[in-house]
Structure 1
Amino acid sequence: MQPSETIGTEETRPAVVGLVVVYCKGLAMGAADAVPGVSGGTIAFITGIYERLIRAVTSLDPSVILLVPSLRRQRGRQEFVAELQRMDVPFLMAVGTGMVTAVAILARLVQFALSALPGPTFAFFFGLIGASAVALFERGWVYQSGPAVAALVGFSAAFLVAGETATGTFPHSFPVIFGAGVLAISGMVLPGISGAFILLLLGQYDYMTTTLNEFIDEFIAVLQGSSPDAFLDAALTVVVFVSGALIGLFTIAFAVRAALERYRMATLAFLVSLMLGALRYPAIQVTETTSAWTVPRVAALFAALVAGLGAVLLLDYYTEDFGYEADA
């Protein structure tokens, strides 16, 4: 008889089928995180795996590596597998594989859109980010000193950083890419904040999507017998980013989670206002990439903006409520 497990609902499924379902939910999370505005954490919340994801991430214990030498014995292998199951590693692998698959596929589409239609693409991003911020914003924050100050700080910081990003101040150096990975991983564990949005804010979004596509293309070329030099260059950038993401998973994500538990309203006000302030960047990009404000081009920008707004508002409608409550 095949083992069963419960994935996010009361329904019990065979374990393999359950992991396939989780993989599909990971696909949806990766698709969300690949586009600035919608958070993979939001999708996890909607699909019912958010709390399990948080528990699994916070249950990871590096000391499991100490069991590796005992894998030569059957008992050691059983203990190792049991420990991985206790930490819900199969679940995390299914989610992670789904996310990576979606990001790899969408990165090429986004790169094409940014190259062929930069104005409408950034208008679409503006709609996504703006609607996400509005959907999550609570008017009550304005009338409470803590959340109001946090909101002002978040908006001001993002507005200034967005201006610096638009002028190309942030380089594509390894320290910046590492830091971007540290911060971007927060989008996986937070409803409302997109990892792609953070990359966009730091001026690394277009660069990283291009690099990821090069990494995939050059890997295929190496398998076909080409020189590995270009692949190694792209791979080094990807490794630096992923290393930052892993560090962020055990630092920034935990810190934000602790902040949400202790100062929930102030933290949420800061995060949402961060998104509002960041709207400066796509707005600048729309104006700079639109050479002539003709009726057809304005119509295309407006249509892209409405599409972004509609996508998030539709998602918010079916989400109903994130369950954000006032601080105790």
Structure 2
Amino acid sequence: MVGLRDWATVYLKGIAMGSADAVPGVSGGTIALIVGIYERLIAAVTAVDPSRIRRVLAGVRPANVPDARAAFHEIDGAFLLVLGAGIGTAVVTVLSGVNYLLATRPVATYGFFFGLIAASAAVLLRGVTLDTPRRQAAAVAGFLLAFLASGVASAGLGSSLPLVFVAGAVAVSAMVLPGISGSLLLIVLGQYEYMSGTVSRAVDGLAAFLTGNGSDALVETLPPVLTFLLGGVVGLFTIAHTVRYALARARAATLAFLVSLVVGALRAPLLEVSTRLAESGESWRGAAPRFALAALVGAAFVFVLDRYSATIEY
């Protein structure tokens, strides 16, 4: 019998995963490995399919309740709900803090992100071999995709709802992959700062609504937040399955592609800092020490984390 203490532990593990997923370069999947729930998470996510979802929803009719409970148990629904609550709590909290840091300390914040990403790439590259043309082509494709996408995003893709939906699908699907950060992919798509600001305003708007101080901010931020979440649900049960299938069929080439995405994404924080410096009139020479120090801190964090995560198995 699972007790309250066990569910509290799952919730806290979700908070740890969500905290990692909210910062670029650190993967919630890696945290899941460290805290010992990665295999259960993958089993639960891959057990979700349209048939079981229909059976669970059919439980609104009393006659279907037993079968709905069985389907809910088959997908480990209680585990997913409690873990998801912990992840959501952490993501909202961390993104609100990051939004403040991006507004007040952008160079150091992006420097920290750069260190996280660079160290993650270094750790992941240890498991990549490029000894065949297929793997080399996958690596080049992954690098170019992230590198070019970063440049396009920095030029101003905007934050339309369709793009927010895609960003949610891509970012959340990365949650099930150790070493690949969803927030990193948001930076590549140019949506990280936008979503962190939107989440922060949504939290403030909810607080204002609950205290009777108006609902304008909440109404303004609900469409992108809900669109992102919807994209995340779709991505978790489509893109994530696709990537897992690719890893099963062509593990080495797929891994080379995914890790090269991380390497190519190193361009993104540099472009973000360059944009901020151009706006403020500051030069890279003046900002470099702050950027480098923060990058070293970020890199050290990843290397310490990697020491405790042991060997990552996909």
TM-score norm. by structure 1 comes to 0.89
Contact 1:186 1:193 in 2 (8 A): no
Mapping of residues 232-311 of structure 1, within 5 Å? 232-290=219-277, 291-293=282-284, 297-311=287-301
Task: Work out whether 1:323 is the aligned partner of 2:313.
Answer: yes
Aligned mate of 1:67, from 53, 58, 68: 58
| Aligned partner letter, 2:256 | A
| 2: CA distance, partners of 1:86 / 1:162 | 40
Residues 227-252 of structure 1 show CA distances to partners (whole Å, capped at 9, x for unaligned) of: 32331120111111111111111210
| Aligned partner letter, 1:59 | A
CA positional deviation for 1:140? 5.5
User: Structure 1 residues 141 and 21, CA, compared in 2 at 3 Å: closer, same or farther?
Assistant: same
User: Structure 1 residues 172 and 66, CA, compared in 2 at 3 Å: closer, same or farther?
Assistant: closer
Task: Work out whether 1:174 is the aligned partner of 2:174.
Answer: no
| Aligned partner letter, 1:314 | V
2:11 alignment counterpart = 23
Q: Tell me, what secondary structure is at the counterpart of 1:185?
A: helix
Q: Tell me, what secondary structure is at the counterpart of 1:206?
A: helix
| Aligned partner letter, 1:217 | D
Contact 1:119 1:287 in 2 (8 A): no
1:212 alignment counterpart = 199
CA positional deviation for 1:67? 3.2
| 2: CA distance, partners of 1:69 / 1:202 | 39
CA positional deviation for 1:285? 2.3
| 1: CA distance, partners of 2:103 / 2:296 | 21
| Aligned partner letter, 2:20 | A
Aligned mate of 1:159, from 133, 147, 153: 147
| 2: CA distance, partners of 1:66 / 1:24 | 28
Residues 149-186 of structure 1 show CA distances to partners (whole Å, capped at 9, x for unaligned) of: 10000001111111111222x11101100111111112
| Aligned partner letter, 1:34 | A
Q: Tell me, what secondary structure is at the counterpart of 1:124?
A: helix
Mapping of residues 124-163 of structure 1, within 5 Å? 124-138=112-126, 141-163=129-151
1:87 alignment counterpart = 75
TM-score norm. by structure 2 comes to 0.93
| 1: CA distance, partners of 2:60 / 2:18 | 35
Percent pairwise identity: 43
User: Structure 1 residues 34 and 272, CA, compared in 2 at 3 Å: closer, same or farther?
Assistant: same
User: Structure 1 residues 243 and 271, CA, compared in 2 at 3 Å: closer, same or farther?
Assistant: same
CA positional deviation for 1:197? 0.7
Q: Tell me, what secondary structure is at the counterpart of 1:143?
A: coil
2:210 alignment counterpart = 223
Structure 1 unaligned residues grouped into runs of 5+: 5-14
User: Structure 1 residues 294 and 259, CA, compared in 2 at 3 Å: closer, same or farther?
Assistant: closer
Contact 1:136 1:272 in 2 (8 A): yes
